[in-house]
Structure 1
Amino acid sequence: MDNSHAIVIGAGLGGLAAAMRLGAKGYRVTVLDRLDVPGGRGSAITVNGHRFDLGPTIVTVPQLFRELWADCGRDFDADVDLRSLDPFYEIRWPDGSHFTARPDENAMRAEVARLSPEDVAGYDKFLKDSEARYWFGFENLGRRSMHKLWDLIKVLPTFAMLRADRSVAAHAARRFKDERLRMAFSFHPLFIGGDPFRVTSMYILVSHLEKEFGVHYAMGGVAAIAEAMANVVRRQGGTVRMGAEVAEILSVPEDGTRRVTGVRLDSGEVLDAGLVVSNADTGHTYKHLLKGKKRWTPRKLDRSRWSMGLYVWYFGTRGTREMWPDVGHHTILNGPRYQGLVDDIFVNGRLADDMSLYIHRPSVTDPSAAPEGGDTFYALSPVPHLGHDNPVDWKREALRYKEKVAAQLETVIPGFRDHLAAETVLTPAEFSTRYLSPHGTGFSIEPRILQSAWFRPHNVSEEARGLYLVGAGTHPGAGLPGVVSSAEVLGKLVPDAPSAAVTAPEPLAAE
């Protein structure tokens, strides 16, 4: 077996970042993915000239990408055109009030004061709380492995001091009196698959990320970042094989455990490797790809709590570039309920009649997302995953739910259906088949406190030597910063390749 050969399962951003780091360590890397383009959930499709970014839309910690590129001897900004946004996003409520998040701290304080003058002091305290959790939760725990129990025990006093047992929503309620501000500073876990009323308050660190590093958009969408990453892998001499689905991670017994030897594709082809990194969903990896599990058994995975599902309607319009001037790049449209809706999604598993929507309109920043004069949108609604009792039958409900989403959208972009030029929809059913996501979830295992850090599936697998995990389902979690950081953790765990692995990179077919 060639121990200098590393296989990465999945060309999502976590897998591509892992491949880049392994290539920088001298490994000959092969990336395998069942889709036709790299990016995983961060890929894109084009329909009638409209480019639909299928998943993540926001880059919040660009230095993670710059450091990744630099560690590979390259310049991120030479490969990717990243634009800072101002405003970051707008939040709207049914009563007509709104909150605009911006990079300027004084502007943010003015927005808080406009809605609730008595909450300005609480906002200042909240920012300090957020920064403290950033340094501990992101820069400390999030960028190193947490696979040893002692690593957890050592930080328990800090967890206690920072009240990690308190939820994000509960912490926001301690700092803000106005219900709208409580929502505005507690909804962020939904963008990584977490219930704001139950995930640990460590995740208020997102407010510091936004304040310190801004909110950015990659021209060409996140798919452009994925393609740039794949190109780095190729320039390192690695291979990115699309349309190649892994059926099994192969392993042999060794010293009372198992050691990986490579993978078998669904075509029957066997690829040998001394190191395998899975960027497939952790649940899929342990339930379907690896045999003989001892800890992450199907029963344990079935008892885990999973993130919500997503209903996403992607649509393009013609002749609308000058219409709806008050609708920017990112808009959050709230329904009449907050906690009640979240409970229906995460706890009750019920598809509610009301909803809250995230509306993405990239064409206001990036004209290439749509034909000239047109617009590209997606409207995302959090919904229950398919693992609840009596799961939603999307074959029956999809059209009816689409009409409900359209009614909500009409309050923001009136008349949009008269201009439709392209559309497609992804429901949890499509997430299950396209991404092999357990229960059709959008973000893998939910980031509750007892499913985070040491309690989360580890980056270095205890099930087989030579097997590592990256991506949303492992430490530190979902979101672009999380999956890219999981590859950084991998880079600290894996030794440099044997010297024989260092070969001259193959030239790209077209540059």
Structure 2
Amino acid sequence: MSGPHRTAIVIGSGFGGLALAIRLQSAGIATTIFEARDRPGGRAYVWQREGHVFDAGPTVITDPACLRELWALSGSEMADDVELIPVEPFYRLVWNDGTRFDYAGDNDVLERNIAALEPRDVAGYRRFLDYSKGVYREGYEKLGAVPFLDFGSMVRAAPALARYQAWQSVYSAVSRHISNDKLRQAFSFHTLLVGGNPMTTSSIYALIHHLEKSGGVWFARGGTNRLVAGMVALFERLGGTIHCGEPVQAITHAGKRVTGVITASGAHQADMVASNGDIVHTYRLLGDHPRGRQAVRRLERKRFSPSLFVVHFGLEGHYPEIAHHSIIFSDRYGPLLDDLYKHGVVAGDPSLYLHHPTATDPSMAPPGHSTFYALAPVPNLAKGDVDWDAEAERYREVVFDRLEQTVLPGLRDRLTVQFCYTPQDFTQDLSAHLGSAFSLEPTLLQSAYFRGHNRDDHFGNLYLVGAGTHPGAGIPGVVGSAKATAGLMI
């Protein structure tokens, strides 16, 4: 059955849900999105406060080609809806001893910066770049948008993954080529941006380095929320419908098929249902059906990625010396990761990601002011027994202390607005299992076939999209998952 007679419901309007809905609607499938929150975007939510635009995240846009493809499906141009601005350097890395390292997109600049820390590592970096290119080809180009629905598909991919020693960690792969301790951190921290521990995440994820090198790091003018708005505009122009503030309360089913969803406004039927919601939450929506109960039990035994503690704040003045993206490293790289992933300890010396969008786009703050957010990875709610309502104010001061000691001396004197976002907020606003910010942890045994399948194994017309499915979290990951899922649905 094809053409305009088919209908689909997409639960949730994160990047995965929007990308999927655009693909379905472009293929002539009448698609409706139900979004629980008052505006679209999922994790890419936005707040406007006192003239500042605060993006919830994600704020690092890589692989713009995977986004442009969504507009090209209907012969339109992404540039009509969204302006992407290149960010340079990609990241500025900062250590407590005052060392600064610009992780530059320009290769000559990057190699000069590597040589300044350790001349012998320039050759090692080139070898690592070759390795990253290889895993990008095998892991992303060939497998990124392929649905792994059966174990055979995993076995067929195995020789390529074995050739790149996928059982090794990203940190081990980097350390094989690079000797300097700070440079090892510089080229392995990326997995944290998708919820993975550099010490245990499969070295396949080293592909992120090549993804950035080849496609650049970008920022949407006006913030990530403008990319969301552009996707919604495209979807609606194609004839799609989106309902915000309407959480799905249940997925209805008969036999081996799902029949639609129930929201506050009633029952809604469709030929197919796809969920961009949290994967555990999605299976709970099946009510007391054995398939839902069994999936929830199985998922609850898996390892979920950490959560995040985010402080959004506005300051008086401009800060040209602070890059758009900064990573501020703790002195304890490995032990800090153990605290986060194994021991469930909320660190007193967190590594931070500092986002400074006004470095690229001054319109993100009122005149004469700057917009920031500082993000500290923290244990998810299974690991750490923390009452974040009580802890948030204390931990905000820990974060501000770190910033004042490293890149923003006198921060508190110029503070005009601030608010925090905690693991509890992830649970409450996004139904995120354990407050996890990136769904399932991207370990080798929770990747590809071992992640959520893009089509459910029991209900033939129930589909999944987003961070909990293959290939995983991050904008390219969830947009890739939408391509895999759309291929099955269309």
TM-score under structure 2 length normalisation:
0.97
SS for the counterpart of 2:262 is strand
Determine the structure 1 residue equivalent to 2:132: 130
User: Which one of 439, 443, 447 corresponds to residue 448 of structure 1?
Assistant: 443
Residue 454 of structure 1 and its aligned partner are, at CA, apart by 0.5
User: Which one of 27, 36, 41 corresponds to residue 34 of structure 1?
Assistant: 36
Determine the structure 1 residue equivalent to 2:299: 301
Report the CA distance shift for 1:295/1:453 in structure 2 as closer, same or farther (over 3 A): farther
SS for the counterpart of 1:484 is helix
CA distance in 2, matches of 1:342, 1:489: 32
Q: Kindly indicate whether the alpha-carbon contact (under 8 Å) linking 1:12 and 1:39 is maintained by their aligned counterparts in 2.
A: yes
CA distance in 2, matches of 1:58, 1:231: 22
Residue 482 of structure 1 and its aligned partner are, at CA, apart by 0.5
Determine the structure 2 residue equivalent to 1:364: 359
CA distance in 2, matches of 1:445, 1:3: 35
Report the CA distance shift for 1:289/1:314 in structure 2 as closer, same or farther (over 3 A): farther
Determine the structure 1 residue equivalent to 2:19: 17
Q: Is residue 400 of structure 1 aligned with residue 397 of structure 2?
A: no
Determine the structure 2 residue equivalent to 1:274: 271
- AA aligned to 2:214 is E
SS for the counterpart of 2:310 is strand
CA distance in 2, matches of 1:415, 1:10: 41
Determine the structure 1 residue equivalent to 2:385: 391
Determine the structure 2 residue equivalent to 1:424: 419
- AA aligned to 2:424 is A
Q: Kindly indicate whether the alpha-carbon contact (under 8 Å) linking 1:91 and 1:184 is maintained by their aligned counterparts in 2.
A: yes
After superposition, give the CA deviation of every residue in 1:401-437 in whole Å (9 maximum; x if it has no partner): 1111110111211112222222111010111101110
Q: Which runs of 4+ in 1 moved over 4 A?
A: none
Q: Is residue 352 of structure 1 aligned with residue 347 of structure 2?
A: yes
SS for the counterpart of 1:141 is coil
Q: Point out where structure 2 has 5 or more consecutive residues left out of the alignment.
A: none
Deviates more, 1:22-31 or 1:412-421: 412-421
User: Which one of 437, 462, 468 corresponds to residue 457 of structure 2?
Assistant: 462
- AA aligned to 2:332 is R
CA distance in 1, matches of 2:226, 2:76: 16
Q: Kindly indicate whether the alpha-carbon contact (under 8 Å) linking 2:91 and 2:326 is maintained by their aligned counterparts in 1.
A: yes
Q: Point out where structure 1 has 5 or more consecutive residues left out of the alignment.
A: 496-511
TM-score under structure 1 length normalisation:
0.93
Deviates more, 1:472-481 or 1:69-78: 69-78
Q: Kindly indicate whether the alpha-carbon contact (under 8 Å) linking 1:278 and 1:469 is maintained by their aligned counterparts in 2.
A: yes
Q: Kindly indicate whether the alpha-carbon contact (under 8 Å) linking 1:103 and 1:214 is maintained by their aligned counterparts in 2.
A: yes
Determine the structure 1 residue equivalent to 2:280: 283
Report the CA distance shift for 1:296/1:375 in structure 2 as closer, same or farther (over 3 A): farther
CA distance in 1, matches of 2:131, 2:386: 38
Q: Is residue 78 of structure 1 aligned with residue 75 of structure 2?
A: no
Determine the structure 2 residue equivalent to 1:238: 240
CA distance in 2, matches of 1:249, 1:295: 13
Residue 109 of structure 1 and its aligned partner are, at CA, apart by 1.0
Counting matched residue pairs gives 486
- Percent of aligned pairs with the same residue? 43
Determine the structure 1 residue equivalent to 2:472: 477
User: Which one of 75, 88, 91 corresponds to residue 90 of structure 2?
Assistant: 88
Residue 268 of structure 1 and its aligned partner are, at CA, apart by 5.8
After superposition, give the CA deviation of every residue in 1:282-307 in whole Å (9 maximum; x if it has no partner): 12111344532179522211110000
Q: Kindly indicate whether the alpha-carbon contact (under 8 Å) linking 2:286 and 2:292 is maintained by their aligned counterparts in 1.
A: no
CA distance in 1, matches of 2:293, 2:124: 43
- AA aligned to 2:18 is L
Q: Kindly indicate whether the alpha-carbon contact (under 8 Å) linking 1:21 and 1:72 is maintained by their aligned counterparts in 2.
A: no
RMSD: 1.5
CA distance in 1, matches of 2:362, 2:331: 33
SS for the counterpart of 1:293 is helix
Residue 53 of structure 1 and its aligned partner are, at CA, apart by 0.5
Q: Kindly indicate whether the alpha-carbon contact (under 8 Å) linking 1:247 and 1:289 is maintained by their aligned counterparts in 2.
A: no
CA distance in 2, matches of 1:480, 1:304: 23
After superposition, give the CA deviation of every residue in 1:16-58 in whole Å (9 maximum; x if it has no partner): 1111000011111111101111111112111111110001001
Determine the structure 1 residue equivalent to 2:325: 330
SS for the counterpart of 2:219 is strand
